[in-house]
Amino acid sequence: MINEERVILMTKLASYEANEGKRASKISRYFRGDYVSVHLLKGWISITMVYVLLVALRILYDFDTFMENLYKMDYLAFAKGIIIWYIISAVVYLVAVYIAYTYRYMKARKGLKRYSQNLKKLGSMYNR
C-alpha cells in the first residue's frame, strides 16, 4: 500500500536534492563570515578590474583631448578624482555583494534546515 504522505515528502526531498540542495550543501561547508568574505574578495577583484577597464575606455573615448591636456593637467587632482570614484564604486558594489551573499547564505541554511527536518520526519514515518 502506497503511503501518500511519505511519497509527497520523498518527492520534496528528492526535488530539493536535485536543485537547490546541491548549491546549498556547497554553501553550508563554510561559516557565514568565511563565505561572505571570499565573495567580498572576489567582488573587490572584479570591481577593481572593471574600474580599470572603465577608466581606460573613458580615456580612449576622449583620447585626443586627453593627449592635448596631458602636459597641462593637474596630475594630483586627476589621481585624486580617480581614487575617490574608485572608493565610492567599490564601497557601493561591495555592500551589494555583502547583502546578496549574506541573503544567499541565510536562504541556503534555511533550506537545509527544512530539508533535515523533513528527513527526520521521513525517518520517523518508517519507524512507525
State the residues that interact with other proteins by CB under 8 A.
42-43, 46-47, 49-50, 53-54, 56-57, 60-64, 93, 100
Nearer to other proteins, 65 or 116 (CB): 65
Q: Which three cell numbers stand for residue 124?
A: 520517523
Report residue 93 as a C-alpha cell: 558594489
Q: How far is the CB of 13 from other proteins (least distance, A)?
A: 19
Contact 97, 47 (CB under 8 A): no
For residue 127, the minimal CB distance to other proteins (Å) is 28
Q: How many CA atoms lie within 13 A of 44 on its CB side?
A: 8
Give the shortest CB-54-to-other proteins separation in angstroms: 7
Q: How far apart are CA 98 and CA 40, in angstroms?
A: 7
Closest to other proteins by CB, 52 or 119 = 52
